[in-house]
Amino acid sequence: MARYTRIPGSIALITLMNPPVNALSAAVRQGITDTVGRAVSDPEVKAVVLCGENGKFCGGADIREFAGPMTGPPLIPMIDAIEAAEKPVVAAIEGIALGGGLELALACHYRIAHVKARLGLPEVTLGLLPGAGGTQRLPRLIGVPAALDLIVTGRHVSAQEALKLGIVDQVTDGNIQEVAMEFAQSMSATLNSRC
């Protein structure tokens, strides 16, 4: 599931809810698809913030679904729709953004990480490659050598290293949702002043 909250200041806060790590189950993918669509089509919403419940952004695919047929919205079109949104979309990364969770964050236009967050593409440890655009978006963002290191080793990076590499735009030790909403408002104001 994903909870939709309209915040004063024209921000849509979308919260992923699938404990313990907010994995991208069919219900979560459906929730993201529905709430992002709602936010993008709402003329009062100027920017969107994606976050996770219980101190974790997203732990990636729900591997319990690997054994059966695919249900719910496919991951790649959902992620592509976020990237194509005409309103700023900010990922508020707390705890973890791993695998499909990092790929979800990479599709957002901006990423704010809590100082204790960990990011990575650990699929290789399962004998897989990132399959939801991470092998394209990460190299475009941080360059091929640095991206290749993360993709083929599966290692996690700290928020500070992610900032140094250019994966995230800002690191905070404050309330991640509040910082991300302030950032989203400033990006929206900047974009509107250019129009």
Q: List residues bridging with 119 in a β-sheet.
A: 97, 157
Assess contact for 32 and 78: CB atoms under 8 A.
yes
Q: Is 123 exposed, middle or buried (0-12, 13-18, 19+ CB in 10 A)?
A: buried
pLDDT in tens, 53-98: 999 999 998 877 777 787 888 899 999 999 999 999 999 999 999 9
pLDDT in tens, 21-57: 999 999 999 999 999 999 999 999 999 999 999 999 9
Please state which of the ranges 65-69, 105-109, 161-165, 171-175 shows the lowest mean pLDDT. 65-69
With bands split at pLDDT 50, 70 and 90, how would you rate the model's confidence at 188? confident
Element at 189 (helix H, strand E): helix 176-194
Which domains are assigned to the chain?
2-194 (3.90.226.10)
* Rounded-to-integer distance, Cα 164 and Cα 22, Å: 26
* Rounded-to-integer distance, Cα 103 and Cα 121, Å: 8
Question: Region 172-179: what's the mean pLDDT?
Answer: 96
Token pair in block for residue 188: 């929206």
With bands split at pLDDT 50, 70 and 90, how would you rate the model's confidence at 146? very high
Whether residue 123 lies in the annotated active site: yes
Assess contact for 22 and 60: CB atoms under 8 A.
no
pLDDT top residue among 64 and 120: 120
To the nearest whole number, what is the mean pLDDT of the chain?
Answer: 92
- List 86, 123, 161, 178, catalytic entry: 123
Asked if residue 130 has pLDDT above 90, the reply is no
The pLDDT score that the predictor gives to residue 194 is 61
**Tokens 């990364």 belong to which residue?**
93
The pLDDT score that the predictor gives to residue 193 is 62
* Rounded-to-integer distance, Cα 184 and Cα 51, Å: 13
Could you list the beta-strand ranges (E) of 8-69.
Answer: 11-16, 47-52
- List 44, 53, 83, 103, catalytic entry: 103
Local structure of 74: helix, strand or coil: coil
